[in-house]
């Protein structure tokens, strides 16, 4: 049984450290399974290593931040990742304009610690990181079927700006053949 986390002092929000990597790999694996749905599966060893390397590089990159939530005595209970995406304006009239966005990814809070404000606390740190890097827009993706994410993001000020559609080629062929 998990104790309710009522106060900010009940958990610590901090940047991830190399020692956190094994748990972070577990979190991203759980997130991938959560998004994919279906039965539990085990990550291939070479994929685990690749994921660990990617997260390890992110921890060291000044343009990225991996944030974790830690409950004293229980260990890590959540993570979130942000990186700064820079693009140049494409219009002649806009001159040398540069656009900066904070891309949020790899968001996970352990099920028994959800709806206690853990992610909101991590998001404060992600927002501060974005603004420190002059990125005043945040972008993220979630599955249409992910109702928890939908509820959380809309509560936290995000609005849907696009929809990703997918289809098997057979379905598209069928649709085309219907004329
Ligand atoms: C989405 C997720 C990260 C939210 O984390 P969390 O720590 O539970 O979020 P918080 O407690 O900070 O909640 C933030 C707000 O969203 C609301 N919220 C969170 N989960 C909700 C749910 N399932 N239904 C309705 N509202 C919800 C909270 O009530 C809170 O609003 P409030 O401040 O008005 O009370 C967590 O549910 C999760 O890890 N889900 C699985 C992984 C996932 O879907 N990741 C996102 C992929 S993009």
Higher pLDDT, 8 or 94: 94
Question: How far does the centroid of ligand 1 lie from the alpha carbon of residue 151, in Å?
Answer: 7
Of all protein residues, whose CA lies closest to atom 36 belonging to ligand 1? 109
23/20 Cα distance (integer angstroms): 6
**Model pLDDT, residue 56:** 98
Is 2 within the bounds of a domain?
Answer: no
The band of 39, judged by pLDDT with boundaries at 50, 70 and 90, is: confident
In this predicted model, what pLDDT tens digit does every residue of 71-127 receive, in sequence order?
A: 999 999 999 999 999 999 888 888 888 999 999 999 999 999 999 999 999 999 999
Are the CB atoms for 132 and 104 separated by under 8 Å? Answer: no
**Model pLDDT, residue 6:** 59
Atom of ligand 1 nearest to the CA of 122: 12
Question: How far does the centroid of ligand 1 lie from the alpha carbon of residue 2, in Å?
Answer: 17
Domain assignment of residue 163, given as a range: 8-177
Does the pLDDT at position 1 exceed 60? no
Q: What is the total count of domains within the chain?
A: 1
Does the pLDDT at position 2 exceed 80? no
- pTM of this prediction? 0.92
**Model pLDDT, residue 109:** 98
Question: How far does the centroid of ligand 1 lie from the alpha carbon of residue 24, in Å?
Answer: 19
Pocket of ligand 1 (CB under 6 A): 31, 34, 107-109, 114-120, 140, 142, 146, 148-149, 151-152, 155-156
Atom of ligand 1 nearest to the CA of 80: 3
The mean-pLDDT minimum among 7-11, 13-17, 111-115 falls in 7-11
Question: How far does the centroid of ligand 1 lie from the alpha carbon of residue 21, in Å?
Answer: 23
Does the pLDDT at position 35 exceed 70? yes
Is 86 within the bounds of a domain?
Answer: yes
Does the pLDDT at position 3 exceed 70? no
DSSP readout, 43-99? --HHHHHHHHHHHHHHHH-TTEEEEEEEETTTEEEEEEEEEEEEEE---GGG-S-EE
**CATH of residue 117:** 3.40.630.30
Atom of ligand 1 nearest to the CA of 78: 39
The band of 36, judged by pLDDT with boundaries at 50, 70 and 90, is: confident
Average pLDDT over residues 26-48: 91
Is 163 within the bounds of a domain?
Answer: yes
Does the pLDDT at position 50 exceed 70? yes
Is 46 within the bounds of a domain?
Answer: yes
Is 1 within the bounds of a domain?
Answer: no
Question: How far does the centroid of ligand 1 lie from the alpha carbon of residue 166, in Å?
Answer: 26
In this predicted model, what pLDDT tens digit does every residue of 113-169 receive, in sequence order?
A: 999 999 999 999 999 999 999 999 999 999 888 999 999 999 999 999 988 899 999
């Amino acid at each position: 049984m998990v104790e309710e986390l009522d106060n900010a002092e009940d958990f610590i929000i901090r940047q991830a450290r190399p020692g956190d990597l094994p748990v972070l790999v577990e979190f991203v694996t759980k997130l991938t399974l959560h998004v994919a749905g279906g039965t539990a599966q085990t990550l291939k060893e070479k994929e685990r290593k690749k994921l660990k390397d990617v997260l390890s590089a992110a921890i060291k990159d000044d343009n990225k931040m991996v944030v974790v939530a830690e409950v004293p005595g229980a260990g890590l209970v959540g993570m979130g990742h942000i990186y700064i995406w820079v693009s140049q304006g494409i219009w002649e009239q806009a001159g040398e304009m540069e656009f900066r966005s904070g891309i949020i990814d790899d968001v996970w809070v352990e099920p028994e610690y959800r709806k206690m404000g853990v992610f909101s606390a991590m998001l404060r740190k992600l927002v501060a990181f974005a603004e420190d890097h002059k990125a005043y827009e945040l972008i993220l993706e979630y599955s249409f079927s992910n109702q928890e994410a939908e509820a959380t993001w809309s509560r936290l000020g995000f609005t849907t700006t696009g929809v990703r559609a997918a289809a098997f080629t057979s379905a598209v062929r069928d649709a085309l053949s219907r004329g």
